[in-house]
Structure 1
Amino acid sequence: TEDLQCHLENLMDLFHSGHTLKICAPMVRYSKLAFRTLVRKYSCDLCYTPMIVAADFVKSVKARDSEFTTNEGDRPLIVQFAANESQVLADAACLVCPFADGIDLNCGCPQRWAMAEGYGACLINKPELIQDMVRQVRNQVENPNFSVSIKIRIHDDLIKTVDLCRKAEAAGVSWITVHGRYLEERHQPVHYDAIKIIKENISVPVVANGDVRNLKEAENVHQVTGADGKYLNMTFQWTVVASFLYAEVAILLILCIPFISPLRWEKIFKFQLWNTIGAYWNKAFLTVIVILIVLFLDAVREVKKYSATQVVDKDSKLYPNAYDHIHMKLFRSQRNLYISGFSLFLWLVLRRVIILITQLATEMGSTVALKTQVENTNEAVRKYIEENNKMKQVLNRSNRSEKEKTEGTNLENSVQEIRNLKKEFTDTAEALFRSRDELAAIKKQSGGLITEYDRLTKEHEKLQNHIEKTHEKKDQ
C-alpha cells in the first residue's frame, strides 16, 4: 500500500477508485507525522497535516521546521493552511509542493482567534477571495497534478453555500470538503442532507466531514450523502430522452424551412435509404410511443410522490435544508415530466407533419399535371378557331364560277373537317367538364368553349343552307 501511495501520479485518481475514500481529517496537535504513519497502517487513503498559518510558514524557517515534517512513506499528503491573502497562500503552496501532493485552504475553523485574524470559517462569506486564492495557487504551482482543495462549513441559506462551491469550482478547485454544520454549531447533529444537496450541484468531488468515528459510520455517511468523488449527472435514460427531444426539434425546424418545397421533400423521401427505413417505420413509431408513455407515467409518479412529501417539525429541526432537498427532487421530476411529455408530443407532431408534406406534394403534382393538360387543350382550341376562320375566308371569297365542282368538293371536305372538328371539340368539352371539380378556372373556360361551339354550330347550319341553295341552283 505504501509503495502504491508513494508512486501515485495523480491524487485525483483516488476519487475514482470505485470505493469509499477514507481520509484522516486535520486535527490540531494530532495530525503530525507519527500519527499519520500510524493511521496509514490501517488503510487510511489520504492524510492531512494540522492547520498551519500560511503567513508564519512563509516568513519563518523555524516555523516551517516546527510545523511541517514528513518522510518518503508519508504520501499521499495534503498540507492544510490558514490564509487570507492569495499571494501568501500561493507562496506557501510553492514551498510544500516538492514534499506533498496538495494543499487545503481551511474555510471551516470556527475558533475565535482564527475568525479574528480573518482565517477559517469567516472566509465562507468571502467567496470571491476564496476563488482568487485557489486561482493564484493554480497559476503559480508548476506541478499540474498538485491539488488545491478547500474545507468549508455551510450557511443558514444553503444557496449561498452552493454558490460558494460553484465559484471555487470555476477557479479550479480539486475537491471540496464540507463540514455539515453551521458556523455557530459545535456538537449538534451534522446536516448530511445539506452535503448531499451540495454534492448534487457541483461536478468536483465532495468529501463529507463531521461525526465520522468508525468505518461503519463512514459507509453510512457515504450512502446518505453520495460523497464519493463522482458527480451525479442526469440518469442515462433521461439523457437519451433529452437528446431525442433536441433531435425532434431540429428535424421539425428543418422540415419547416420555407425554400424547400414539398415536391423536393417527396423526392428526398423516395431515396432508397428511406424506403428501407420505411419498412420498419410503423413498428419503430409504436415502440418509441410506448417507451415515451412509460417514461412519462414514471415522471408523473415521481412528481406526485415529491409533491405529496411534507417535512414534519422534527425533521425540520434536525435537517433544516430537507425542504430544499425535497424541492430539488420535485424540480428534477418535473423536468423529466416536461422532457418526456414534449418528446411524446413532438413525436406525434413529427409524424403528422411528414404525412401532410407527402399529401401536399401529391396534390401539387396533380395540380401541375392538370395545369399542363389545360394549357394543351387551350392550344388545340386556338388552332381549331384559326383553321375555322381560314375556312370562312375561303368560303367568302368563293364565287359562282366554273370551279363550282371543285368548290363543291372543297365544301364537302370542309364539312367533313367540321364534323371532325365537332367530334374533337366534343371530346375536348367532355375533358373540360371532367376537370371542372378540380380547377374552377377550367369550368369558366369550358363555358366559353360551349358558347363557341354553339356559334360554330350555327355557322355550320348556315353553311349547310348555303350549300343546299347552291345545289338547288345548280340543279336548275
Structure 2
Amino acid sequence: MICDTTNTPVCLLRDPVDLFHSGHIVKICAPMVRYSKLAFRTLVRKYNCDLCYTPMIVAADFVRSVKARDSEFTTNQGDRPLIVQFAAKEAQVLSDAACIVCPFADGIDLNCGCPQRWAMAEGYGACLINKPELVRDMVRQVRNQVENPRFSVSIKIRIHDDLKRTVDLCRKAEATGVSWITVHGRSVEERHQPVHYDAIKIIKQNISIPIVANGDIKSLKDAENVHHMTGADGVMVARGLLANPAMFAGFDETPLKCIQDWVDIALEHGTPFTCFHHHLMYMMERITSKQEKKVFNVLSSTPAVLDYLSDHYGVWQKIFMIPLWNKIAIYWNKAFLTIIVLLIVLFLDAIREVKKYSAVHATEKVASVHQNAFDHIQMKLFRSQRNLYISGFSLFLWLVLRRTVTLITQLAKEMGIQVALELQVANTNEAAKKYLQENEILQQALNEKGKYKREQALEASNKKLRQEVQYLTEELKRASNALSKATNEVIAVKKQSEGLKREYDRLMKEHERLQDLLDEDEEEDKKDQ
C-alpha cells in the first residue's frame, strides 16, 4: 500500500454520506479493474467527479500480502473522498482489510455485483446477492471493528429476476447499517441488455438510505435523465468516463485539454505504458477517424504516442479544432451551393440583359430617336455588360476557390495519412527491432536454460552416482564386517577343531593304553588257567 505525497490539491475530508445530502446528484467514478487507479481518479476529479472508487481488490490477498497492498492500492492527499472496493466472502477478512485502509480512505464497498465466472466460482461478487445473511455479517463486523464512525460501508449489487428478493436484500442491508447501495440495473445473466431503470426506481421507493444508479450512462444528459427516471441520489459511471473523462463537466466528447491533462498526470504518476495507451485509445475513439485509430492503436512506446499527439494535435490542429470551425464546416457545402446558384442566376440574368439592350441599341441606332433616350439605352447596355463580366468572373473565381480548397483539404488529408503511415512504419520497425531483441534474449535464455538443464541433469546423475557409491561403500563395509566375523568364526572353529583333534588324539592314546592293559590282563588270565 502506497500513500503518494505528490503536490496534489487537497480535498477537505468529510463524511462521504454528506455528499448525498448536498442537494445535487452525486457523480461517481465506478470501480474498474486496471483503469480506475490513482492517475485516472486524479483526472476525473478535475472534471466535476464527486466520488471515486478504487478497482476491486480481493480482501484475502490484500490482508495476507504486503506486495498485493503495494500494487493494488495507491493514493495521495488529494485523492479524497475515496472508496476502496473489496471482494470478500469472510467477515473477519473484510473487517481486517477495512482497518488497514481506514487511515487512507473514506469508506469501503463490498462487491456483490461482479458477474465474472472466476469471482462467482471463488464465492465473490454477484453470488453474494443470494446470501443476505453473509452480507449482513460482513457489514456488521466492519462496523464493529472500525472505530471511525464517519467511515462509510456500502455495497454494490445487481438485481434478481424476482425483484422482491432484491428489495428484501436492500432492506436487510439497510437494517445492518449500510451507508448507501449502488444498484446495477441488470441481473447476473444479463450483459448488454437494456438497463432496468424501473427496478432501480422501485428499490429507491422502498429504501430510505441513498441509492446510486449504475448502467449505460454515457453523458451528463444521460445521468440527469436516469436521476429523473429513478429518483436515485447518485449515478455511477464506468465506460462512459473511460470514453470521456470530462463528461461530468458537460462535454459530449473528450476535449483536447482533457487529453493533455491525462498525458501530464500519467507521466507525473509514472503510469505504465499499456494503461496510459489504453486510456488514450478510449478517449480518442470518438474524435479520430478509422485510419487514425489503426495508426494510433499500434503505437508501442510513450515517446511514439507523444510524437503522434504533437503531430496531430499541435498548435494549428488546436486552432482548427475550435468548435466554431466545426460549425462552419457543417454549413460549408450548403453555403457554397447557395452562392453558386446565386452567381449562376446573376450570370444568366446579365446575359439576358445584354441581349435585351443589344437588340434595343441596334434598333434605336437605325431609327431616329432623341439623343437622351439613346444615351439612356447605351448606359443600360453598359451596365448589363458590366454585370455580365462581374458575375461571370465571380462565378469563375468561386469555382476556382472551391477547387483550391478541395485540393488543399485533400492534400492535408494525404499529408496526414502520409505522416501517420510513416509513423506506423517507424513504430513497426521499432516493434520489429524490439521483437528481434526479445527473440535473441529468449534464444539466449533458452540456451542458458538448456545448459542449465544439462548441468542440472549432470548434477542429478552425479548425485545418483554418489548415492550409489555411498551405498556400495556401505555394502562393502557390511560385507567386510561379515567376512571378518566369518573369519573369526572360522578361526574359532579351527581352534576348536584343533582342540578336539588333540583331545581325540589323547583319547585315542588313552584308548590304546587301556586296550594294551586289557590285553595283558587277558593273557595273564589265560596263563593262570
The interval holding the TM-score normalised by the smaller chain is 0.3 to 0.5
Question: Taking structure 1 as the reference length, what is the TM-score of the superposition?
Answer: 0.47
Q: Give the structure with higher Rg (CA).
A: 2
Question: Taking structure 2 as the reference length, what is the TM-score of the superposition?
Answer: 0.42
